[in-house]
């Protein structure tokens, strides 16, 4: 058996969570991340027939039956993951009909996965229908984006256009824009259902006055999406109270999309 803590995907997860904390996106136990793993990746390191315990998921997602996830724990601080990964992370296998998970590794202090795991599962299932290569769900609380949801109208087209206009790389990184949900009680199945629906048309979903969820094929992709949105929000918050003398025009945005062979969200450019 290989040493699970030396596997590339585990090292990348630990480094990413540490980086998220260091960016100020995940204060205290804020934020959560899950990674869809292939059975072979898990079998190389663990006896997949040895189940430590069963944990209810809180919502049935039969489409994920038999799938494996590396996921952050509830109440865990990202800053501690690098020092005690087996306490703060867990590997689970979803059972049929998808309303329970078998713990195969981790959560060694008796803990369990994030309280938002139902939202993760629903979004993974929804996103896999759009993109079979999707592997990552990442949720955090970027400061400037959070602030922006208090002062900017929450219309998805208007919000996306504002972000695109803050930096030329934005339309290149997320031409599908951002989707937005109103402020809702966190940890609920309804929030999970609504987020999953939004994930069908964009890889980024803003939870107003709460944070941001991003999805991608890799940790780098999901992290990069969030990082780019947060930079745009930071620029916006620095200039929001000032007269705007210049901006990035729709002509430039369209030119950027053409230059990189991308299709901006339909109807978002004038």
- Residues 176, 179, 181, CA angle at the centre, nearest 5°? 175
CB 97 within 8 A of CB 65: yes
Element (H, E) at 140: strand 136-140
Are the C-beta atoms of 120 and 138 separated by less than 8 Å? no
Per-residue DSSP letters for 24-76?
Answer: TSS-TT--EEEEEE-HHHHHTTS-TT---EEEE-SS--GGGTT-EEEEEBTT-
User: Which of these is catalytic: 7, 116, 153, 230?
Assistant: 116
| H helix or E strand, kind and range, residue 157 | helix 156-164
> Is the CB of residue 67 less than 8 Å from the CB of residue 36?
yes
CB contact at 8 A, 108 and 25: no
Question: What is the C-alpha separation between 127 and 42, in angstroms, rounded?
Answer: 22
Are the C-beta atoms of 112 and 73 separated by less than 8 Å?
A: yes
- Catalytic residue flag (residue 116): yes
Catalytic residues, by residue number, are: 116
């Amino acid at each position: 058996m290989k040493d699970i803590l030396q596997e590339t995907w585990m090292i990348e997860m630990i480094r990413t969570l540490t980086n998220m904390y260091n960016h100020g996106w995940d204060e205290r136990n804020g934020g959560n991340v899950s990674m869809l793993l292939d059975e072979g990746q898990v079998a190389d390191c663990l006896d997949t027939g040895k189940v430590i315990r069963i944990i209810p998921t809180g919502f049935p997602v039969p489409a994920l039956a038999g799938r494996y996830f590396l996921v952050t724990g509830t109440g865990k601080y990202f800053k501690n993951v690098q020092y005690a990964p087996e306490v703060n992370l867990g590997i689970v296998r979803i059972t049929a009909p998808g309303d329970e998970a078998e713990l195969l590794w981790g959560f060694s202090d008796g803990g369990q996965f994030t309280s938002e795991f139902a939202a993760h599962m629903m979004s993974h299932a929804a996103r896999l229908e759009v993109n079979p290569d999707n592997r990552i769900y990442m949720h955090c609380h970027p400061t400037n984006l959070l602030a922006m949801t208090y002062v900017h109208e929450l219309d998805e087209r208007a919000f996306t256009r504002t972000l695109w206009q803050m930096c030329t790389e934005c339309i290149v990184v997320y031409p599908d824009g951002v989707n937005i949900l109103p402020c809702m009680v966190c940890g609920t199945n309804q929030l999970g259902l609504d987020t999953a629906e939004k994930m069908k048309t964009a890889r980024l979903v803003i939870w107003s006055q709460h944070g941001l969820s991003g999805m991608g094929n890799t940790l780098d992709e999901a992290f990069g999406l969030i990082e780019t949105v947060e930079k745009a929000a930071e620029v916006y918050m620095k200039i929001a109270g000032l007269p705007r003398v210049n901006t990035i025009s729709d002509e430039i945005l369209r030119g950027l999309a053409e230059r990189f062979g991308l299709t901006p969200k339909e109807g978002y450019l004038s």
